Amino acid sequence: GIQVEQSPPDLILQEGANSTLRCNFSDSVNNLQWFHQNPWGQLINLFYIPSGTKQNGRLSATTVATERYSLLYISSSQTTDSGVYFCAVEAINNNDMRFGAGTRLTVKP
């Protein structure tokens, strides 16, 4: 199956700082998503982004499908941004959605 690698595995920021999270994948995809898992364990969909760029408030994401990577940008981070960020992908001609191991983000006040 498709391989998904996320980096960095852990990230500690001061409130107000910016950050970039990366997701590399091993095959062509027809679905790529970014999720945030909050401290209570809930998974919240941030972006559906198999290609191109999207923005939602302080968050934005870019997927370069031809080079098999996606980036999640968090600007002016807040303590409520803390949690684990997952990238999930679905390979073309396949229907299973695979997750990376995640990036654990801690934003300190």
Partner 1 sequence: NAGVTQTPKFQVLKTGQSMTLQCAQDMNHNSMYWYRQDPGMGLRLIYYSASEGTTDKGEVPNGYNVSRLNKREFSLRLESAAPSQTSVYFCASLVRYALNQPQHFGDGTRLSIL
CA-to-CA distance for 78 and 51, rounded, in angstroms?
A: 27
Please name the amino acid found at residue 88: A
Q: Is 57 in the site for partner 1 (CB under 8 A)?
A: no
> Which residue number, 17 or 59, has a Cβ lying nearer to partner 1?
59
Which of 19, 33, 63, 70 binds partner 1 (CB under 8 A)? It is 33
CB-based contacts of 105: which residues, under 8 Å, 6+ apart? Answer: 11, 12, 13, 19, 21, 74, 77, 81, 82, 83, 84, 85
The answer to whether 101 contacts partner 1 (rule: CB under 8 A) is: yes
Distance CA 65, CA 49 (A): 10
42, 51, 53, 79: which one binds partner 1 (CB under 8 A): 42
* Span of 19-27, 33-41, 57-65, 74-82 interacting with partner 1 by CB under 8 A: 33-41
Q: Is 83 in the site for partner 1 (CB under 8 A)?
A: no
